[in-house]
A and B are shown apart, each in its own frame.
Chain A
Amino acid sequence: MSTRWYPLYQMGNPQLRIFLPNFFMKLVKPKYSEPPNRVTFEVSMGMSRYDVKNYLEKIYKIPVISVQTRVTPGELKTTAGYVTKEDDYKTAFVVLEKSVNFSFPDLFAAGLKEKEYEKEMKSLEATKREYRKQQERNANRPGLPGWFSF
């Protein structure tokens, strides 16, 4: 449950208790359509299926039925003679109770960025129109500075 060093387990040893777990879990959007009670997480590479189950049950108080995990190796990218490798990551598919209906929320549904962009484009168009009008007014006096008012 953590990235620290722990003693080896042998038959007859007491149960290992881990304090201050430092593994992470990120809720991610599933690539393919999932049943409503199945949630996808990207978890620390050191986590087992039991770790994922205990993490959710103990820390987030979410009862878990089963977990499937899969490790995806990072892509190798070649640019201009050198090769880089992206990080490997582990995906955990967590099956919750049948009654649960969770769909990954659309965080950018309000589209505030798009609205801001439209506003800026509109003001830009207005500025262009004003500039063209001013050019037309001073068509017979080309090259005159803008602070000359007629």
Chain B
Amino acid sequence: MSALCRRIPSLVNQLRIPTFAALKQQKVILSSLPTRVLCVTLFSTKPPPSINDKLMEFFDDPKNWEKDNIKTGRSWKLDELRIKSNEDLHKLWYVLLKERNMLLTMERECQTEYRVFPNPERIDKVEESMENLETVVRERNRAYFELETTEPAERPGKLEMNQIGMRYFYKHSEHLIPKVMNRKWREKVVHGYEGNAVKKFLRLKAEKLRDREIWKTHSRRRYVSRIFSEYPDADVKSLQEAFPDVDVEAARKHIDARGNHDKNLD
């Protein structure tokens, strides 16, 4: 299972194996239980964990308390999580959550005692695994809802125009009163722009973007001309296919296409 999991008792708790006393109280027919549950309940001589033991789950194995270097595996990858069932992912989430709490507790204690916390990248690995797990669960949730309701079950939003004429993704939120009554929201969230200052800004912005595009096309044309300056016999047809937006014939006749050879076009 998890590369970072080394706590079997927590897994046992999650699988909910009952004690013998609990079974007797519920009057469960023992032969109806699966063999593994039966074995653990009837033949286990281990006492159930006390509250102190459960609180000690917030700490690392005592052997690791004063180590300089603690070796751990890597984080869970997306593809590794995608092949797991929902039940497995749900259990893994809590394993990772408890591991994160343990690492954060150890880090905090090291801070208090002015000690170096060994291998802080362990926390990053766990957080990355948790992010990946949530991505996979969100993918599945999205797919299910899009199939059933044609809408993903994510927070709704829409591309809106802000007060300086730029579009941004506005995330919708729930309100208890309608827009008409919500003066504070209407004052805070204004979609749309007006004014000469904004118009000037948009004009200058458009000019900047346009200049960039023009520079790009010019630089491509210059590149093709330089190809011809080095290789005057280059195939025009294949170059046109490679640079569809450049007039290759014109680039060949351009002054930039002159090279150190006797095939310059006069």
Contact status A26-B176, CB under 8 Å: no
For the A-B complex, the count of residue pairs with Cβ-Cβ distances under 8 Å equals 77
Query: A6 → chain B, closest Cβ, in Å?
Result: 9
Instruction: Give chain A residues whose Cβ lies under 8 Å from the Cβ of B109.
Output: 28-29, 107
What are 25 contact pairs spanning A and B, CB under 8 A?
A8-B174, A8-B175, A20-B134, A21-B97, A22-B134, A24-B104, A25-B58, A26-B101, A26-B108, A28-B105, A28-B108, A29-B109, A42-B108, A59-B94, A59-B97, A60-B57, A61-B54, A62-B51, A102-B52, A105-B59, A107-B65, A107-B106, A110-B65, A113-B66, A113-B115
With beta carbons under 8 angstroms apart, the residue of A62, A107, A110, A113 that contacts B54 is A62
B260 within 8 A of A: no
Residue of A nearest to B49 (CB): A61
The CA of A8 and the CA of B52, in the complex, are separated in Å by 38
Query: B95 → chain A, closest Cβ, in Å?
Result: 11
| Chain B residues touching A, majority SS | helix
| Chain A interfacial positions (CB closer than 8 Å to B) | 5, 7-8, 10, 19-22, 24-29, 39, 42, 59-63, 96-97, 100-102, 105, 107-108, 110, 112-113
Query: A58 → chain B, closest Cβ, in Å?
Result: 10
Instruction: Give chain A residues whose Cβ lies under 8 Å from the Cβ of B55.
Output: 27, 39, 60, 62, 102
Residue of B nearest to A107 (CB): B65
Given contacts A107-B65, A112-B66, are A26 and B54 in contact (CB under 8 A)?
A: no
B246 within 8 A of A: no
| Chain A residues touching B, majority SS | loop
Q: Give residues of chain B (70-117) contacting chain A, Cβ–Cβ below 8 Å.
A: 90, 93-94, 97-98, 100-101, 104-106, 108-109, 112-113, 115
| Chain B interfacial positions (CB closer than 8 Å to A) | 13, 51-52, 54-59, 65-66, 90, 93-94, 97-98, 100-101, 104-106, 108-109, 112-113, 115, 130, 133-134, 137, 155, 173-176
A-B CB proximity, top 7 nearest: A27-B58, A112-B66, A8-B174, A26-B105, A26-B104, A107-B65, A27-B105
Contact status A108-B174, CB under 8 Å: no
The CA of A10 and the CA of B93, in the complex, are separated in Å by 30
Contact status A29-B112, CB under 8 Å: yes
The CA of A19 and the CA of B133, in the complex, are separated in Å by 12
Instruction: Give chain A residues whose Cβ lies under 8 Å from the Cβ of B13.
Output: 61
Residue of B nearest to A10 (CB): B176
Given contacts A20-B137, A29-B112, are A100 and B105 in contact (CB under 8 A)?
A: no
The CA of A42 and the CA of B108, in the complex, are separated in Å by 9
The CA of A62 and the CA of B53, in the complex, are separated in Å by 10
With beta carbons under 8 angstroms apart, the residue of B51, B52, B65, B97 that contacts A108 is B65
Instruction: Give chain B residues whose Cβ lies under 8 Å from the Cβ of A22.
Output: 97, 130, 134
Instruction: Give chain A residues whose Cβ lies under 8 Å from the Cβ of B56.
Output: 105
List 18 additional A-B contacts (Cβ < 8 Å) besides A28-B109, A105-B56.
A10-B176, A20-B90, A20-B137, A22-B130, A22-B134, A26-B104, A27-B105, A28-B108, A59-B97, A59-B98, A96-B51, A100-B51, A102-B51, A105-B59, A107-B113, A108-B66, A110-B66, A113-B66
With beta carbons under 8 angstroms apart, the residue of A28, A105, A110 that contacts B112 is A28
Instruction: Give chain A residues whose Cβ lies under 8 Å from the Cβ of B52.
Output: 100-102
Contact status B113-A60, CB under 8 Å: no
Instruction: Give chain B residues whose Cβ lies under 8 Å from the Cβ of A97.
Output: 51
Instruction: Give chain A residues whose Cβ lies under 8 Å from the Cβ of B133.
Output: 20
Residue of A nearest to B137 (CB): A20
With beta carbons under 8 angstroms apart, the residue of A8, A26, A108, A110 that contacts B58 is A26
